[in-house]
Amino acid sequence: MRAVIHLEEILNFKADAKSKVISTESSGLLKVINPSNSTTLWGIKLDASNEADVLTEIQDTIQHIEAGTDYVKEYKTSLTSQVVVTEIVDTNFNGEEINKLNRDLTFNVDQNLAFMIKIENNYDFPIKNITVEKYFPPDTKDLRAIEPYTGETTVLEDEKLITWTVPEIKSKESKAIIVACIMHPKNVQPYVTGKIVIKCEADNKLSSLVPSIDGDSDNVDLRLKAEETSIPGQWNVDFGLRNASEFEILLKHVIISVNGDVKYKEELNTELEATNEDLIWKQQILAESDHYPEITKDFDYYVLYDITEHSVISYEKENDHLNVLKVNVSKSFEPNEVVTYALTPLIGIIEITNTGTSTIGKIEVEDTIPPFVVFDEVIAELADRKVDVIFEEKKKIVHKPVETEEREKATFEMLEEGGMEEKAKEAEIPVEQEQEDVTVQRKYHYRVKELKLEPGQSLRLKLIGEVRKPKFDGNQASPAEIKAFAEQPTVPFVIEAQMDGKEPYLVVAFRRRSYELTSIFKKIGENNYEIEIPITNTGDVALDNVIITQPIFNAEYVGHTPPTVDVTVEGANVKCHVKQIKPTETTTIVLQVRADGPLRQQQATIRIED
């Protein structure tokens, strides 16, 4: 990380009423900015050439600039303005000068006057943010700007001031405005009616200032990495400090806080040698969450490094983004209750909301439906557009005819409710119509592929069908089971959500666990062999409690490396226990064995004990 320079120059000048520039004031701000959010920059030398038009000497040594702040240096210049200001006193509001022969004419009555102010840009580049301030005598009344004009105006009646702002005037172009007022005779001396102050800026340097910074200011850098563990709600958080300065620094003490709780605090007094790449000081803490799985979505951490007697480097970051799948599910029916024996149209609605931080690429829904409900069509909608959905029934339907007695009962109840006989006949359930046994439930399966459900978006499944039995209560319907899959296959999470009543519950499962394992046999002497077993974690999650079983048959176990691996001998097998292998890491186990003759070679096997 290096500091950057930002230069701001503002041209201020005052003009009298005869378009004569009587004074020019040019000032500027030279900012040395630290753009980092985490790193304090140290030992910066600032130098700016002291040209003829720069009145301030700029040669500073900046001890440090904290993260996200800047060092400001003000300076003055003696610029010759290339902006021409013209003012014309006018009574006709058309920009034509009055009384050209007698400019000292004094009016004996209150006079309506207009003043045309014209700004010409003679620079070779545009000027920007032009502000014109026109001041009037104390008893001037009815100040106003006459349209049309470019830009905006502000009238301050109490201060007898009109301010005109113009965003830009291009090179060799001009802008003008007419302002009007009522002026008392004693104050009316044409061309001596009040001062004008103009301010402007430019992207081009107005002065010949050439600033520069010296020295490698990339001194201290803090890095953080969080990885999930096999225990839900726990994360290993690795912190590291890099010293990229040209000198050694003293790390006095370190405080690490997660979710407001201090997780690590130690007085170190350790010297960190200068380096450009390696993390000199490293520390790992275990971040836990009592409200699982919120830790997987975001958590706050704060780290404070006290480097020397006079400096403190702090790094604070909120809501560190860790990809996770999380969904909320709701299920409802329209209508939610049916009490008639007649066939009733029914619409089921399953709404799935992405409440996690990962984009969902596929959703599978298994829906349990009562036997007297049939859905013939499913429509999937996302952001007011339809998406493709695969709709299939997972179980066969058991049919049985409706008994005549039941049909007559339905007709009778319709008549009891006041229905007409014709309507009752229409509502009769024919003998050949299918009817399910109450103990058999349908299983519908909906799959939405090639989906792009962004965080915060909702997918709406609209189930269209009918209910064939009275006293249907949607509140008693079985919940829908949801499986959501991340769009990016590298995300190691899959969340299964169930909606039971109003409260969903979530289950996390790691889906992308893979590894590579081989056994390499080497003869290192007479009857002495080495079996080299490299295990590489090629998945997205850590492999915990890895058990490697290597058959040795006619050989005898002698020893192994590394010592961090636990080894037991069970008959003709050597079992090696590796506590954890992180993603992309390779752990190599070397077994030393002795055999009376040629060693029988067989590949090792692996088992993960979650």
Tens digits of residue pLDDT in 106-155:
556 677 777 888 888 888 888 888 888 888 877 788 888 888 888 899 88
What's the CATH number of domain 515-608, 2.60.40.1930, 2.60.40.290, 3.40.50.720, 3.40.250.10? 2.60.40.290
User: Where do the CATH 2.60.40.10 domains begin and end in the chain?
Assistant: 220-317
Nearest 5°: CA angle at 441, between 440 and 444? 145
Q: How confident is the model at residue 592 (pLDDT cuts 50, 70, 90)?
A: very high
Residue 512 in this model has a pLDDT that exceeds 80: no
With a CB cutoff of 8 Å and minimum separation 6, the contacts of 246 are 216, 274
Give me the mean pLDDT over the 421-435 stretch.
42
Q: What is the pLDDT of residue 576?
A: 94
Residue 588 in this model has a pLDDT that exceeds 90: yes
Give me the mean pLDDT over the 523-533 stretch.
86
By CB atoms closer than 10 A (0-12, 13-18, 19+), residue 179 is buried
pLDDT in tens, 438-451: 445 678 888 887 78
- Read off the pTM: 0.34
Nearest 5°: CA angle at 428, between 422 and 431? 140
User: Where do the CATH 2.60.40.1530 domains begin and end in the chain?
Assistant: 327-399+434-510
Q: What is the pLDDT of residue 239?
A: 65
- Owner of token pair 């037991």: 568
Instruction: Return the CATH number of the domain spanning residue range 220-317.
Output: 2.60.40.10
pLDDT in tens, 279-309: 555 666 565 544 334 444 444 544 454 444 3
Average pLDDT, the chain: 70
Tell me the CB-side half-sphere exposure of residue 5, using CA atoms within 13 A. 16
Q: How confident is the model at residue 577 (pLDDT cuts 50, 70, 90)?
A: very high
User: Where do the CATH 2.60.40.1170 domains begin and end in the chain?
Assistant: 1-218
Nearest CA to 227 out of 281, 283, 278, 284 is that of 284
pLDDT in tens, 327-372: 778 888 888 887 766 788 888 888 888 877 677 888 888 888 877 8
Q: What is the pLDDT of residue 249?
A: 60
User: Where do the CATH 2.60.40.290 domains begin and end in the chain?
Assistant: 515-608
- pLDDT, greater one: 6 or 229: 6
- pLDDT, greater one: 282 or 429: 282
- pLDDT, greater one: 280 or 182: 182
The answer to whether domain 1-218 has CATH 1.25.50.20 is: no
Span between the terminal Cα atoms of the chain, in Å: 42
The answer to whether domain 327-399+434-510 has CATH 2.60.40.1530 is: yes
Q: How far apart are CA 434 and CA 12, in angstroms?
A: 91
Q: How far apart are CA 77 and CA 8, in angstroms?
A: 12
By CB atoms closer than 10 A (0-12, 13-18, 19+), residue 533 is buried
The DSSP call for residue 67 is T
